[in-house]
């Protein structure tokens, strides 16, 4: 998979409350959560971002609570993928479970600005910054994980496999 979009840059230690504030956790409706995605980290994010845009961040992205609402909100808002220096482990797992493509790149965040255009090749583990045609490495996603993402997350993937096994 190749993801192309405009960068929304965030710093280190973006916790799940910054991704989706706890005051909105009275629902698990993805579209309602999307309306408040990154609201406390950048109040204009949801009104200015466009489907396909990419979040780029620093260290320990998704730290804090183990709520699955955080990757759900990001995905439902239309973000195509997230690229950071490192993820909190529970967020990492939840993101794949929810079908949100995520990547780690130690160098990318320091080399780009908000609004830059990038493309992420998930199979090759290559990120290209359009301006200047700079190339960075990221982790690649194993084929079975790409299938999980393509199916929409873990539960949808399991449902698809069950359906296929009955045929």
**Which string of b and e fits 84-109 if b means at least 16 CB within 10 Å?**
bbbbbebbbbbbbbbbbbbbbbeebb
C-beta separation of 14 from 41 below 8 A: yes
Domain count, the chain: 1
Extract the tokens encoding 147.
């299938």
- Distance between CA 6 and CA 64 in Å, rounded? 26
Q: Which structural domain range is residue 62 located in? A: 2-166
Q: Is the pLDDT of residue 31 over 80?
A: yes
Give 109-120 pLDDT, tens digit per residue.
Answer: 999 999 999 999
* Tokens describing residue 103: 């990547």
Q: Which CATH number do you get for residue 124?
A: 3.20.19.10
Residue indicated by tokens 């967020």: 91
Query: Which phi and psi angles does 119 have, rounded to 5°?
Result: -130, 145
Strands 117-121 and 102-104: unpaired
What's the average model confidence in pLDDT over 45-49?
96
In degrees and rounded to multiples of 5, residue 66 shows phi and psi of -95, 15
Q: Is the model's pLDDT at 142 over the cut of 90?
A: no
Confidence class for position 153, pLDDT limits 50, 70, 90? confident
Lowest mean pLDDT among 32-41, 53-62, 109-118, 144-153: 144-153
Q: Is the dihedral of CA 64, 67, 73, 75 positive or negative?
A: positive
- Residue 91's pLDDT is what? 94
């Amino acid at each position: 998979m190749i993801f192309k979009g405009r960068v929304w840059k965030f710093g280190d230690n973006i916790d799940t409350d910054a991704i989706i504030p706890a005051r909105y956790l009275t629902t698990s409706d993805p579209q309602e959560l999307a309306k408040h995605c990154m609201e406390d980290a950048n109040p204009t994010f949801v009104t200015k971002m466009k489907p396909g845009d990419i979040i780029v961040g620093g260290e320990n992205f998704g730290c804090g609570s183990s709520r699955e609402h955080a990757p759900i909100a990001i995905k439902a808002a239309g973000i195509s993928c997230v690229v950071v220096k490192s993820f909190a482990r529970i967020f990492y797992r939840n993101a794949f479970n929810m079908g949100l493509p995520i990547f780690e790149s130690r160098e990318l965040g320091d080399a780009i600005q908000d609004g830059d255009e990038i493309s992420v090749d998930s199979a090759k583990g290559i990120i290209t910054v359009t301006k200047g045609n700079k190339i960075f490495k990221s982790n690649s996603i194993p084929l079975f994980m790409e299938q999980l993402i393509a199916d929409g997350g873990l539960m949808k993937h399991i449902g698809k496999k069950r359906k296929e096994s009955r045929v």
